[in-house]
Amino acid sequence: MTVREIVKRFTFIEIFKGMALTLKRMFSHAVTIQYPKERRHIAPGFRGQHALAKNQAGQAKCVGCGLCATICPSQCIHISRAKGQVTKYEIDILRCIYCGFCVEACPYGAIALTENYEYSDYRKEDIYMTRDKLLLSWDKYMPGKKGEDYFKKFWRPMSEDFGTPPVQAVFRGKKE
Amino acid sequence: MNISNIIDQQTLDALIKFGINVLIIILKIAVVLGIGLLHVAYATYFERKVIGHMQVRLGPMRVGPHGLLQPIADGLKLFFKEDIIPEKADKPVFYLGPVIFMAAAMVNLSVIPFSSHFVIANINVGLLFIFAMAGMGVYGIFISGWASNSKYAFIGGLRSSAQVISYEIAMGLSLVGVMIMTGSLNLTDIVKAQEESIYGMFAIPQIVGFVVFTIAAVAETNRTPFDMPEAESELVAGYFTEYSGFRFALFFLGEYIAMFIMASMATVCFLGGWTLPWYIKVIPFINYVPGIVWFLMKVYAFIFFYYWIRATVPRYRYDQLMGIGWKILIPVALANILITGLVKILL
- The yes-or-no verdict on residue B18 having pLDDT over 80 is yes
> Would you call A28 and B50 a contact, using CB atoms and an 8 Å cutoff?
no
- Residues A90-115 have a mean pLDDT of 86
Query: Are residues B175 and B127 in contact, defined by beta-carbon separation less than 8 angstroms?
Result: yes
Contacts 24+ apart (CB under 8 A), A133-140: A134/A50, A134/A51, A134/A52, A134/A89, A134/A91, A135/A51, A135/A52, A135/A54, A135/A60, A137/A49, A137/A50, A137/A51, A138/A51, A138/A52, A138/A53, A138/A54, A138/A112, A138/A114, A139/A54, A140/A51, A140/A114, A140/A116
Pick from A1, A17, A22, A23 the residue to mutate for testing the B interface (most B CBs within 10 Å).
A22
pLDDT of A174 > 60? The answer is: no
pLDDT > 80? residue A147: no
Distance from CA of B67 to the nearest CA of A (A): 13
A114-123, A143-152, B135-144, B199-208: which range is least confident on average? A143-152
Name the residue facing B313 among A15, A28, A32 (closest C-beta).
Answer: A15
**Which residue among A18, A26, A34 places its CB closest to the CB of B53?**
A26
Question: Which pLDDT belongs to residue B79?
Answer: 85
- Over residues A91-108, the mean pLDDT reads 87
Per CB-CB distance under 8 Å, the chain B contacts of A25 are 53-56
Asked whether the predicted pLDDT for residue A99 surpasses 70, the reply is: yes
Q: What is the mean pLDDT of residues B14-21?
A: 88
Distance from C-alpha of B214 to C-alpha of B223, rounded to nearest angstrom: 12
Nearest by CB to B58, from A18, A21, A30: name it: A30
Q: Answer whether the bond into residue B225 is a cis peptide, omega within 30°.
A: yes
| Mean pLDDT along residues A9-17 | 80
Backbone torsion region of residue B152, taken as left when φ is above 0, otherwise alpha when ψ lies between -120 and 50, otherwise beta: alpha
Is there a contact between B52 and A30 if contact means CB atoms under 8 Å apart? yes
pLDDT of residue B24: 87
pLDDT of residue A60: 84
Give the distance, in angstroms, between the CA of residue B219 and the centroid of all CA atoms in the same chain: 12
Residue B222's pLDDT is: 80
What pLDDT shows up at residue B3? Answer: 62
- The B-side interface with A (CB below 8 A) comprises 50, 52-58, 61, 308-309, 311-313
What percentage of chain B has pLDDT greater than the value 70?
98
Residue type, A42: I
> Which chain B residues are closer than 8 Å to A31 by Cβ?
56-57
Residue A43, chain B, CB below 8 Å: the answer is no
The pLDDT score that the predictor gives to residue B114 is 85
Nearest-CA neighbor of B45 among A81, A65, B53, A77? B53
- Name which of A19, A28, A32 is nearest B58 (Cβ-Cβ): A32
Instruction: Check CB contact under 8 Å for B57 and A15.
Output: no
Asked if the model's pLDDT at residue B167 lies above 70, the reply is yes
Write down the pLDDT at residue B258: 87
> Can you tell me the distance from the alpha carbon of A22 to that of A119, in angstroms, rounded to the nearest whole number?
38
Question: What pLDDT is recorded for position A170?
Answer: 54
Instruction: Name the residue in chain B with its Cα closest to that of A30.
Output: B56
Query: What pLDDT, on the 0 to 100 scale, is given for residue B287?
Result: 77
**Using CA atoms, how far apart are residues B98 and B137, in angstroms rounded to an integer?**
9
- Give the pTM: 0.79
- Residue A59 touches partner B, C-beta closer than 8 Å: no
Assess whether pLDDT exceeds 60 at residue A172: no
Of A20-24, A91-95, B1-5, B317-321, which range is least confident?
Answer: B1-5
| pLDDT-wise least confident of B85-99, B233-247, B316-330 | B233-247
For residue A175, pLDDT beyond 60? no
- What pLDDT is stored for residue B286 in this prediction? 76
Best residue of B48, B54, B211, B315 to probe chain A, by most A CBs closer than 10 Å: B54
Residue A168's pLDDT is what?
A: 58
* B312 with A22: Cβ contact below 8 A: yes
pLDDT, residue A161, reads 67
Chain B residues in contact with A19 by the CB 8 A cut-off are 308-309, 312
Query: To the nearest whole number, what is the mean pLDDT of chain B?
Result: 85
- What's the confidence (pLDDT) of residue A169? 53
Asked if B308's CB is within 8 angstroms of A22's CB, the reply is: yes
Contact of A15 with chain B, judged by CB distance below 8 Å, is answered with yes
pLDDT value for A173: 57
Q: Which residues of B touch A22 (CB under 8 A)?
A: 54, 308, 311-312
Chain A, chain B: beta-carbon pairs less than 8 Å apart: 36
Which pLDDT does position B75 carry in this prediction? 85
